[in-house]
Structure 1
Amino acid sequence: MTFSKQDLLKEITFRTSRSGGKGGQNVNKVSSKVELNINIRSSPIFTEGEKELLFLKLANRINSEGVLQVITEEERSQLHNKEKSIEKLLILLKKALYKPKLRKPSKPKRSAIEKRLKSKQLTALKKISRRAHFND
C-alpha cells in the first residue's frame, strides 16, 4: 500500500443520518448512522494499478461514479461509528490490494524419492509373498 491513514482521511467524506435499531428514545433524536464515501476514481493517493485492482475486487461496493461506500450503524455514538467505518475501509483496502507471493515449484529431495521407492518396493514384496501363500 502506498498510502497512510492520514492520506485516506483527506479523501474521505462522511454523511450521517438517523439509525434504526437499538437506542430507545435516543434513536429519534441523534444521527448516529455514518456513511463513509471515498472517490476511488479521482483519488490521487492510489496508483492506476491499485485503482484497477480495487475496481476489480470491490466492484459490488463501488458505484458508477467510482465512489466506494462503507455504512456503519452498529454503535449508538456517531463518533464510534465513524471510527468503525474507517477501520472497515482500511481492512477492505488492505484485502483488495493484497498480492499473494508466487509459489516457486521445487523438486522433491533425493532422500524423499528413495524413501517413496523403498516403501513401494516393500508393499510389492508384501503382496508377492501373500500371492505365494494363496496359491499353495
Structure 2
Amino acid sequence: MDDGLRVNDQLLVPSAELRERFSRSSGPGGQGVNTADSRVELSFDLAGSPSVPEPLRARALERLANRLVDGVLTIAASEHRTQLSNREAARERMVALLRDAIAPPPKPRRPTRPSRAAKERRLAEKKRQSQRKRERRVDGD
C-alpha cells in the first residue's frame, strides 16, 4: 500500500512495524468461505516501536492498557468478504484507535455558576409549569 499509517501530524507508523496475519473468516462467502483467508489480524508493537515519540507512547500505553498483550496492539477485521477490504478496515480501525489514544487530554472544566437572571428565568418557568398543571386538575384544588 503506502509507506505506513498516518495517525496524525506527529505520528506515522511505518509499514515495516506492522504485522498482518490472515486466516479463514467465519460468516458469509459461499463456497469460497472455506478456502479464502479473508480475516485479517493487524498487530503493532506499541511498547517497542522506535517511531512513536516517548510522551505519545506513554499516553497510548496507559489508555490502551486493557487492549494490549505484552505491549502489542492487535486489531482483527473479518466483516468483509475480501482480504483487501478487511486489510483496509483493520488499518482504519488501528489509525482511529491510535489517534484517540495519543490525543492530548481535554482541558479541565472551569466550574461556573448560573447568573441571577438565569436563576430567575428557571424559577419563573417552574411557576408557569406548576400553574399550567394546577389548571388541568379536575378536583379544583
Q: TM-score, normalised by structure 1?
A: 0.71
* CA distance, structure 1, for counterparts of residue 19 and residue 82 of structure 2: 18
- Identity, % of aligned positions: 32
Q: Which runs of 5+ in 2 are unaligned?
A: 1-7, 125-141
Q: How many correspondences in the alignment? A: 115
2:137 corresponds in structure 1 to: none
1:68 corresponds in structure 2 to: 73
Displaced runs of 4+ in structure 1, greater than 6 A? none
Pick which of 33-42 and 93-102 moved more. Answer: 93-102
* CA distance, structure 2, for counterparts of residue 73 and residue 100 of structure 1: 32
Pick the aligned partner of 2:50 from 44, 50, 69.
44
1:97 corresponds in structure 2 to: 102
1:3 corresponds in structure 2 to: 11
Give, as a single letter, the amino acid of the residue that structure 2 aligns with 1:20: S
Q: TM-score, normalised by structure 2?
A: 0.69
**Structure 1 62/116 Cα, relative in aligned 2: closer, same or farther at 3 Å?**
closer
Higher gyration radius (CA): 1
* Post-superposition offset of 1:98: 1.5
Higher strand share: 2
Give, as a single letter, the amino acid of the residue that structure 2 aligns with 1:60: N
* CA distance, structure 2, for counterparts of residue 22 and residue 52 of structure 1: 40
Q: Which runs of 5+ in 1 are unaligned?
A: 124-136
